[in-house]
Amino acid sequence: MTTQLTITKPDDWHLHLRDGDALDTTVAFTARQFQRAIVMPNLAQPVVNTQLAAAYRQRILNARPEGNTFQPLMTLYLTNNTRVEDIRQAGESDFVYAAKLYPAGATTNSSNGVTDVSALSPVLDEMQKQDLPLLVHAEVTDPDIDVFDREQVFIDKYLVPIKKNFPELRIVLEHATTEQAIDFVLHNHLTAATLTPQHLLFNRNDLLVGGIHPHNYCLPILKRETHRKTLVNAATSGNPKFFLGTDSAPHTTNAKENQCGCAGCFTAHAAIELYAEIFDKENALDKLEGFSSFYGPDFYRLPRNQQTLTLHRESWQAPSHYPFGKQTLTPFRQQTPLQWTIK
């Protein structure tokens, strides 16, 4: 039995760090194990241009623990008002690595998102020219579409046409949750998907059976077991189109345990540990390094990290809460011991 595993230091290709006081908690957790992270732009005031991205990047760097070399990779938030010029500036900067498409109303802080995807064509055209990857929250928001079907409908209605119209545009289908998402990525050139710990570990029973489990609630929502199995197969297949993106998305304990609880699971306290457990269960620990440390930088055309990280098979339990600004945060899977640790 493998009791210790050393891999090239991983990166997180989908992360929410939030802002203000929260950065003291979030940056430290991620910087402890990841060398780089693609930082999502869905702040209360979204990061809609390169200037805002530069300022946010500096706030993140200021929150980095002493001596740590973690690098935030910034992204822009696309809106109905994004201009071709905004994309040109992002492409020419050396710290914006992608732009994110949130359909308006699809998730946390998405009210400024895009309402008409077809009107984005000039922007997508410029992204294709700049070779700036498009990151997609692939869910429709149509109230008539069942919440469990929103990803597959978005793929058919929007992603397939986008790929057809912009064949050289690199696309990451973020936090993929369905067989249809895996299928889209497998069959389309220059596309990839990030996979989260929660979608690899849990299905919708973990959200809804035996009471409602608010700390397992995220968007896209957990799906049925057949989908989870497909995601696990993709993650452990060694196919470079699938790589690590935690979607660690902290909300205060109060905002999660609420009449209208927020979507998002905080996994950054134990991210690589959770992935190790998933790969271990599949007897695929030999595939963890590619998924965590190679395929992401390869897709983003960045160098792989030089440093290493060592995981030990040793059980531990996360505390019930972590401090989060002036409030607290409840970590994902707090009630079950974790199987791997970093010393």
Indicate which residues carry an active-site annotation: 247
Which of ligand NCD, Zn ion, none interacts with 219 (beta carbon under 5 to 8 A by kind)?
ligand NCD
Q: Does 12 bind Zn ion (CB under 5 A)?
A: no
Nearest approach in angstroms of CB 263 to ligand NCD is 3
Q: Which does 82 bind (CB under 5 to 8 A by kind): Zn ion, ligand NCD, none?
A: none
Q: Which partner from the list Zn ion, ligand NCD, none does 218 bind, CB cut-off 5 to 8 Å by kind?
A: ligand NCD
Q: Which two tokens stand for residue 151?
A: 């990803």
Residue 114: strand pairing partners:
103
Q: How many CB atoms within 10 Å of residue 92?
A: 10
H-helix or E-strand spanning residue 327 = strand 327-329
The CB density around residue 316, as the number of other CB atoms within 10 Å, is: 11
What residue is closest to Zn ion based on CB?
247
Which CB atom, from 264 or from 280, has the smaller least distance to Zn ion? 264
Q: Number of residues in contact with Zn ion, rule: CB under 5 A?
A: 1
Asked whether position 289 contacts Zn ion by CB under 5 A, the answer is: no
3-state SS assignment for residue 136? strand
Report the C-alpha gap between 71 and 96 in whole angstroms: 12
**Cβ 251 to Zn ion shortest distance, Å:** 12
Q: What is the DSSP string of 9-38?
A: PP-EEEE---STTHHHHHHHHHHHH-SEEE
Q: How far is it, in rounded angstroms, from Cα 208 to Cα 203?
A: 9
Binding site for ligand NCD (CB under 6 A): 16, 42, 107-108, 137, 218-219, 247, 249, 263-264
Pick one of ligand NCD, Zn ion, none as the site partner of residue 256 (Cβ within 5 to 8 A by kind): none
Q: Does 151 bind Zn ion (CB under 5 A)?
A: no
One-letter amino acid identity for 1?
A: M
CB-based contact 102:110 (threshold 8 Å): yes
The least distance separating ligand NCD from the CB of residue 217, rounded to whole angstroms, comes to 7
Q: Which does 264 bind (CB under 5 to 8 A by kind): Zn ion, ligand NCD, none?
A: ligand NCD
For residue 86, state whether it binds Zn ion (rule: CB under 5 A).
no
| Binding partner selected for residue 137 from ligand NCD, Zn ion, none, CB under the kind-specific 5 to 8 Å limit | ligand NCD
CB-based burial, 236-258: b 16+ in 10 Å, e otherwise = bbebebbbbbbbbbbbbbebbee
Build a one-symbol-per-residue string for 229-248: x at contacts with Zn ion by CB under 5 A, - elsewhere: ------------------x-
Supply the minimum distance, in Å, between the C-beta of residue 11 and ligand NCD. Answer: 17
Q: How many Cα neighbours within 13 Å face the side chain of 145?
A: 13
Give min distance, CB of 225 to ligand NCD, in A: 20
**Cβ nearer to ligand NCD, comparing 6 with 259:** 259
In the bound state with ligand NCD, the residue whose beta carbon lies nearer, of 149 and 282, is 149
Write out the DSSP string of 172-220. EETT--SHHHHHHHHHSTTEEEEE-HHHHH--THHHHTTS--GGG--SS
The answer to whether the peptide bond before residue 220 is cis (omega within 30 degrees of 0) is yes
> What is the nearest approach in angstroms of ligand NCD to the Cβ of residue 84?
26
Single out the residue of 34, 21, 220 nearest to residue 140, CA to CA. Answer: 220
d(CA 149, CA 138): 11
In the complex with Zn ion, which residue's Cβ is closer, 126 or 245?
245
Q: Which is nearer to ligand NCD, 294 or 332 (CB)?
A: 332
Residue placing its CB nearer to ligand NCD in the complex, 21 or 92: 21
